[in-house]
Each structure stands twice: as structure tokens, then as C-alpha cells.
Structure 1
Amino acid sequence: MQATGMLPVAGSTRLAATRVVPRHLAFVDRRAIAVRAAPATTTQQADPWLKVVEAEKKGEVVEVVVKSFNKGGLVCNLGELRAFVPYNQLAADTLKKGHAGDMSFLLGRKLRARVVSVDLQSARREIVLSQKKAVLGEALKGLAVGDEVSGVVAGVEEYGAFVTLDAPAGVSGLVHKSELSWEKFTRVDDVVKKGQRVRVKVHDVDASKCRLNLSLKRMTPDPLSQGLDNAEWGPTGAVPPAIQSLVDRLKGAAGVTDVMYTRQANDPHHVSQELQVFMSKAGPGSGARDGFLVVARLGSTLQELQVSSTLARDEFKTVLQSIK
């Protein structure tokens, strides 16, 4: 039988359609087949570095074992990888247990820490962890927007004041200068001083980002919004340019079909230095029919607006916040 590149099937004179691979190509073809057969995600799933990068992105807490320490911090095992916890990223309780900088009591112990940075670009790949942020993140899960808490002003900066809370212990938050007072002021330390005890309200909290924003002014009602009910309303007169600009932006917002001027008031007892916008309830003499009532305040001028919209109330609030 002539060589045709086909192999005979046992017990038959017919030829099976099995191609003979030339010997000099057999090794190359098998390698190509093996490469194609390997799942593309196997290496990614097994690569511990990719897992650590993902943990950093998600703000996840990992468990490590302390292997040694040096003048900068703790060297730890994170699975098969090495990681570093600087001393300034250790929780306060952990630092207190170290006598004169001796951290030998931690050797072999497990710590829970948050991945704060992963450097894959340098020759020495590095993972930096923070036990402090892991503890803070857990503590912040117990706080909610609107909670009232007490603490001490730990520091004053141009942009606000830092307050260390009584509880949870060791947790600090920022009172941005815009959340210090309803009254106009020039310097942050005109409102609060370092070491001063204060009671503040949780304004925003994000445990995954270890962020806590506090408000001092929201401990009391906004005097400007309180003045809305007592204002003497009349027909709309001259409209300040900033309020006109607000109306123009509202008209261009998605979901808003119309904006109408309804009534205006002058309130010299409550003067706003910047444009303020409130969603208002319909009251006697208002022009409300459907949609939403909005009151814009600038200086002593109060301008009521009737906004027709297809949006739900919460959706419309989001629109207002984005264009103010």
C-alpha cells in the first residue's frame, strides 16, 4: 500500500481519516495543543499578587503572620508573600504593648490589616499594610449618618478641625470648615480651639475608605431655613443673577420639564452670603400645583420656584445637589 498519510483500521481494508503527523513537526504541534488547552484564567486565579491588588482596590482586610521587625516596622507573611506594616500604621493598643520599641511579643502572632499599597513596578515588589485602618474600618461600621457623638478637637487646620471621638475609642473625623457654623467666620479657630470638647453629628461615613466626616453646625437648626416660614411673601420682582443662573441650569436638567417663578420675599433678619437652595413644602399663598417647590436664598432675597418634573423626590434632590 502506498503512503497516503492515512492509517488502516484493524480488521478492515478501509482507511480511517486519521492524519499522520510528520515526525519533525510532532513536538511543536503537541506544545501548541497544550498551550491552547490551558485555561487562560488559571495563572491569574493562582497568582497571589493579583489577589493582593484586588484586596487593595476593595479595601479588604487580610490576615498576616509577624515574622520579624526592624527600625521601620513589622515584616509579615501574607500567604507566600512578604508584607510590611510601618510602626505608624499599627493600632494604638498594639503600640502600647511594645516596651521601648521592642516588638518581639508580636513574633509568630497573627494580625488583621488592610492593604494600603501594592508596588508591582519596582525591582522589589512591596506590599504595605495598615492595622490602624483595619481597626478604624471596623469601628466605623458602628456609626451611621445622623448619629450624635462627643469628642475633643485634636487639631485645627485651614480647611477644618479634626475631632477624636470618645467612642469608638481612637476614631477621629474631620469637621470641614463648611460644617463648623451657620454663622459667617474667617478662621477655623474662631469657632473651635484645639483641646476643646465638642458634640458633633456624623455627616458622612464610609468604612471601606476609612472616612468619617462630622458636622458641628448641624447640631442646631439652620436659622436661614427656619426663617422661610416667617417671611412676608409677595410677587416676584428683580431676580438676582445667581438665582437666574440656577433657574437656567434647572431648566436644562434631565427630568425637569418646566421652572416657573411663583413668589418672592425679602428677609433682612436672615442674610445668606452664598446661594442656598431648599426643597420647600407648599404653604398658604404658594404657587404649588404639581412637581416640587424650591426656595433659593441669596443675601436677603428669597425666591420661590415651581418645578415641574417627571422625577421622584429623591431623584430630584440629587439633581438639586448637582447643580447648586
Structure 2
Amino acid sequence: MSIFSAATLGSVPSGFYFLSNIFTSDASCTLSPPFPSLVNHSKFYKHCHKSPSGRSSFHAAKIFVSANANTQVLDGESASPDSVRQARVSADWKAARSYHESGFIYEGRIEGHNGGGLLVRFFSLVGFLPFSQLSPSHSCKEPQKSIHEIAKGLNGSVISTKVIQADEENKKLIVSEKEAAWSKYSEQVEVGDIFEARVGSVEHYGAFIHLRFPDGFYHLTGLVHVSEVSWDLVQDVRDILTEGDEVRVKVTSVDREKSRITLSIKQLEEDPLLETLDKVIPQDASAAPDLLSNSNISNIEPLPGLGTIFEELLREDGINDVRISRQGFEKRVVSQDLQLWLSNAPPTNQKFTLLARAGRQVQEIHLTTSLDQEGIKKALQRALERVP
């Protein structure tokens, strides 16, 4: 009686094994396989017969185990249950290493959970899937449930996993649903894409954001750094975002080698640094009592560090004059550090506009120059490199 042959397996990665020509004595029974299936779902069946004592005995005429070109043949009565079991376990660890090296996805059945994660069947072995390696789709689908309640509900289901550790010596077989999800869905993510998303865990340095895909599930997670949360000055992201918040994010980078996505929330909002100068500093001083008018130009002190930059700019060929034209105060702090922004507005009488900001204070600077916009950018870069 042939259980199955190599032909039934189709194309499988090295490290898989197959058994053939397993015989049993008179009365036989078929037990459910101890694992879901091989890659092509060809079932493995163990045939046994009941002895008078009620115990199942196992008799094998020949067991052929093949894994990474290593073979083992056990014949006749020498194939004791223990040797058969050990041969199968050894072959399954080789399969696990093969999955780890190749990156193939394994469909594993969840057989239970403990305090730290799920127990996932891998052929005759049991792998461990830490809760941290679960796809965000589960928690986003049932946000009101605890992780242990979610784990209990997953018992008996089949999930896609990747082997991330296969240590036979220490009996550690670790699998990840997150890594499998990355293989399936990361190619659908490109820089510039915009996603509806949900906030996951939040730290002072950033927030982990779960991305919702067209199928309605949250398959991948990216990081919004503290600097990309808001145009306002943010010291601690936990002051702005809370787990479960619904947000829109823009993909700013995708590192496919490290399986990382970086995101931005603020880039989908109006950049206050790119508002028109008349919005930031209204021409009509009466509209903003705290603004200094043009008649007070001589009283404007350059922002800290700006005077040194002016001196360096005047050393550049093509820049004839640098002076502050207006000053104002914004409603919110964008950055405590000095920032310089070159206006995209066309020059008037060879004058370009530069905007300097620090804290709430804003100063408009006119550059009288024969340089074009690209030339000014290079001159600014050289000047700033000379500033200590």
C-alpha cells in the first residue's frame, strides 16, 4: 500500500521529506494527521492497528526520509516507533531550517496559546508565534478585545507564517505572521501613497500606525516619527496621539530589506512654513496688533545667529545686500531652532525673499542679488557651512 510518492508532492523546496510504502498488520485504522498538510496539501496518514492491550502498534516495512540530500532508511523490525518518530522529527527540523532560509510562507494551524503567544503546528513540531509577531489585522478587527481574548478566538484557525528562528539544539521554532504579511502586501506600498490608518502603540519618539488596505484589513504597520506628527513643535507623541485614533498618513519611505515603512501625518496638512508671506505677516498692521510695521525696520534685531549668516552671505559673489524688511509673530511654535526658507515667488527688482523663523518669531529678509534662485540656494548652502 503506497501512501504517496514523490509525484504527488509536486515541486517542493529542499528540506521537505516524504514517506512511502508504509504497511500495517491486519486490522488497521487511519488517524488524522498531526499537521495540516504539506505544501501542496497532500495528506500524510499514519496507519496503525489495535493490539489486545488496546495500544496502537506501528509496523513499517520501509521509511524513506529525504531532507537536503540526506537520506535515512529504516527496514523491517529495526524501525521501532521511537526511531520512526525521531526520523520524522529530525526531517521536520530540516524542513523548518529550509523554510527559514528560503523565506517560504507556511500555512500553520493554531493549536492553543500561552501568556506570550500562540502555538502553531509545523508538521510534527509545534512552533511559537509571539503576540508581537501577530498581524495588526486581528487587533484592528476587534479593538475592544484583549490580546488573550483574540488568541482564544484564533484557536483552530490556519494562518500564514514565516519561520524566523529554527534552533533544533535548543528546541526553538519561532514563526511570524507579520513577516508573512510583509511578503504578501509590501509590494502594494509605494512612496507617496496615502492610507487610511489606525494608531497602534504610541511612544514618546513616535507612533506605530496600522495601514488599512483595499480589502478593509490592516495588514502592515509603519512608524510616524515625532518630527512627522505635526507642524507644531511636539516633544512627546503621547500628547498628540492615542491608541485607536483614526488618521490619514503618507508613505515617506519603504525599506524592503529591513521590512520597514516610515510615514508622515503632517505632510497631509497645510505646511505653515509654505504659507504666503502676507498670511504670516499681514501687510495691514491693524489686522495684527503685535506686528511691527515697515517704519520700525531699523529697530528689528536679527534672530539669534542670523547676523552671522548675513555676514557670510555678503561674502558670496552676486549678493549685494541683505536686510530685514518685516517682522511678525505666529500663533504657534514650529521650531525653537533657526530655520531659513527661500520663497518661490519670482524676484522683484533683483530682490529675492528669504524667511527666517525661530519659536514664534518670523522675519522677512530681502536679498538684492544678480543670482537666480538656484544660485541663491548654493550661496546659502556655502554660507551656512561656514557658520560655526
TM-score under structure 2 length normalisation: 0.44
Question: Is 1:61 the equivalent of 2:124?
Answer: no
Deviates more, 1:186-195 or 1:130-139: 186-195
Task: Give the number of aligned pairs.
Answer: 248
Question: Is 1:154 the equivalent of 2:214?
Answer: no
Per-residue deviation at 1:141? 2.2
> Taking structure 1 as reference, are residues 202 and 267 closer, same or farther at Cα in structure 2, changes over 3 Å only?
farther
> Which position in structure 2 is the counterpart of 1:300?
362
CA distance in 2 between counterparts of 1:184 and 1:282 reads: 27
Per-residue deviation at 1:135? 0.7
Match of 1:241 among 299, 305, 309: 305
CA contact (8 A) 2:310 2:322 kept: no
Which amino acid letter does the alignment assign opposite residue 268 of structure 1?
A: G
Question: Is 1:223 the equivalent of 2:223?
Answer: no
Question: Is 1:210 the equivalent of 2:298?
Answer: no
Question: Is 1:172 the equivalent of 2:215?
Answer: no
Per-residue deviation at 1:189? 3.9
Question: Is 1:268 the equivalent of 2:317?
Answer: no
> Taking structure 1 as reference, are residues 184 and 64 closer, same or farther at Cα in structure 2, changes over 3 Å only?
closer
Which amino acid letter does the alignment assign opposite residue 206 of structure 1?
A: D
The SS at the match of 1:162 is: strand
Deviates more, 1:262-271 or 1:167-176: 262-271
> Which position in structure 2 is the counterpart of 1:192?
241
Unaligned runs of 5+ in 1: 1-45, 252-256
Which amino acid letter does the alignment assign opposite residue 86 of structure 1?
A: L
Per-residue deviation at 1:278? 3.9
> Which position in structure 1 is the counterpart of 2:186?
140
The SS at the match of 1:208 is: coil
- Tell me the alpha carbon deviations over residues 105-149 of structure 1, each in whole angstroms, 9 at most, x when there is no partner: 76xxx955264x687xx9659675423222134323212222222
CA distance in 1 between counterparts of 2:337 and 2:265 reads: 19
Q: After superposition, where does 1:40-59 map in structure 2 within 5 Å?
A: none
> Which position in structure 2 is the counterpart of 1:16?
none
> Which position in structure 2 is the counterpart of 1:284?
347
The SS at the match of 2:346 is: coil
The SS at the match of 1:281 is: coil
> Taking structure 1 as reference, are residues 87 and 240 closer, same or farther at Cα in structure 2, changes over 3 Å only?
closer
Which amino acid letter does the alignment assign opposite residue 300 of structure 1?
A: V
CA contact (8 A) 1:158 1:187 kept: yes
> Taking structure 1 as reference, are residues 194 and 85 closer, same or farther at Cα in structure 2, changes over 3 Å only?
closer
The SS at the match of 2:257 is: helix
CA distance in 2 between counterparts of 1:246 and 1:129 reads: 59
> Taking structure 1 as reference, are residues 162 and 241 closer, same or farther at Cα in structure 2, changes over 3 Å only?
same
Per-residue deviation at 1:63? 4.1
CA distance in 2 between counterparts of 1:246 and 1:172 reads: 45
CA distance in 2 between counterparts of 1:286 and 1:61 reads: 63
The SS at the match of 1:163 is: strand
CA contact (8 A) 2:356 2:362 kept: no
CA distance in 2 between counterparts of 1:114 and 1:174 reads: 24
CA distance in 2 between counterparts of 1:276 and 1:188 reads: 22
Say what the alpha-carbon RMSD is for the aligned residues: 5.6
TM-score under structure 1 length normalisation: 0.51
Per-residue deviation at 1:176? 1.9
CA distance in 2 between counterparts of 1:152 and 1:228 reads: 35
The SS at the match of 1:144 is: coil
Question: Is 1:182 the equivalent of 2:228?
Answer: no
CA distance in 2 between counterparts of 1:222 and 1:151 reads: 21
Identity of aligned residues (%): 25
CA contact (8 A) 2:119 2:126 kept: no
